[in-house]
Structure 1
Amino acid sequence: MTLKNATKYSEDLSSERIGPGFRRRLKVGIRGFKTSATRRSQRVLAALLTVCLTPAAQAQGVGSLPMTYSGRLTESSGAPKDGPVAIEATFWTAEIDGTQLGQSFDFASVILNQGVFSLYFPFMATQVQDIFRDGTEPVFIEISSGGKTYPRQKFNYIPLAMRVPVDNKSVGFDVTSGKLGISGVKDAASGSVLVSNGAGGVKWDNLSSSNLTAKTEAGAAPVADQVLTYRSGKWVAASLPPAAASGNYLTGLTGDIVATGPGTGTATLATVATPGTATKVTFDAQGRVRSGTSLVAA
């Protein structure tokens, strides 16, 4: 029997429409009705309490996630409770017993409108973390007022309006700023890209050589000494083509020639002088002949 129906029931009892037989039956059961009125009222109060969770319209500071909770308080008779009243709100892991989540919130003077109240919670990001955790587990709110503790109600909310459930691998919730971000490295250098960290998450990388991979043109894995080259419209791993066995490679020379490494080779010098025999030559520090002249008898 709801509170509304119980009120109508009592009104009908005092009307002239009730017959004598019904009045006698009523007297037999009226005592039981009175002794259970308090328990019924408590159940009715549980049905009347409603949850309304929305981001508050007030200006929010950094890491602030304010919310409101609304409900209705009534007397044991079903009449709306008069205000202002003091209210304490706590959050729990279960409807009965369980563990308290976070701190208690005290409201010294709450205005009631036909018993309806509205509580403003100036949550900070750290408090949201303590109470709602990762957003996947149920949370129950308990209201106490005037020495009476009302049945707990499940605190339902729209996740995107408050706290997005996260896996703490790819994305995470910053309990200091109250913002959603990428897990791991918070700052990335210019030109960095997101890559897998190999453990189900992501990380920033500056395209280091350890994260560069390429297949051959045929789709096979690369082998040692292959390089990245562009072929057939894509970048592939391939070996450099061998140098030709013959050809002109030295087209100009300035300074000294220094050759190192295995193997042999031939360097052909360009013609820069008239061939002949000279009796006097000059040479530099490297032993190279710079010029030659013939001696003339005195």
Structure 2
Amino acid sequence: MYTEVSAKVEASKVTGRRVSTSGMLKILGVSRSGYRAFLNRKVSPSKQRKENVKKEIQKIYDDSKQNYGAPKITHILRKSGETISQRTVSKYMHEMGIKAQWIKPWTTTTRDSDFSDELHNILDEQFNPERPNAVWCTDITYIWTQDGFVYLNCIMDLFSRKIIAWTLADTMEVSTVIETINKANAIRKTDLPLIIHSDRGSQYVSNAWRAATEKMQRSYSHKGYPYDNACIESFHSLIKREWLNRFNIRNQRHAYRLVFEYIEAFYNTIRIHSHCDYMSPDEFEKLYERVSELSAA
């Protein structure tokens, strides 16, 4: 009933300048009481709550750079005191026409080196170390720009999944990975026993890489098996899927600005991660530090 009245009243608004309300209601066959009931109708508490929740969902979704799906949004809503199921959040998101970005399956593109017999997999897919600076992993990925490809090299701490160092270059030369590992060492300043895991690309079996990582245990993925380095591979898929693929990237400078914004202003500091108990990598590491200090006191 109200839907029909609403449609008719809207029609009356369109031609309101030429026809009085009383005349229009008579033409439309709507009684005055029905019109007044429509104007005075109150939104039910359940509908009001639904609309409020949808507004919060939209805000969380936008704050995540339109990346979060129902699981993460549900967690944030519950954290703020909202009692709601993931199924309901998923239903509301469907009604709103929003969804998480989809991850395109990735495949390995690295060729095996000539030193395969000397390259051992120390990590062996143990992706959950108990402290920071126990295991770092690294990889290179390409980014398309209008000026040609540029190459992103990142180093991740597996404890928190934090990107602790990265470089963007127009080549895949060894100097790029050396610059990145030197950045990581300068930032972390750790003398703890450390595993550095990579694929078998030529950069990571070079003499320069061996010299730069001489105090670390070098670990390498098995031949043709990218899942040994799944965490950093997944991050590179993530940054493209959640951010870079939205832009027509002009050149290396533009790509650098986008990568910086995603890693430093979102991924490390804001983006929640199920691995980190729905905290950001920075928050997860700070919590570890606080717990360690309390344990030592």
TM-score for both structures, normalised by structure 1: 0.19
Determine which structure has more spread, i.e. the larger CA radius of gyration.
1
Structure (1 or 2) with the greater helix fraction: 2
TM-score for both structures, normalised by structure 2: 0.19
Highest RCO, 1 vs 2 (Cα 8 Å, sep ≥ 6): 2
Structure (1 or 2) with the greater strand fraction: 1
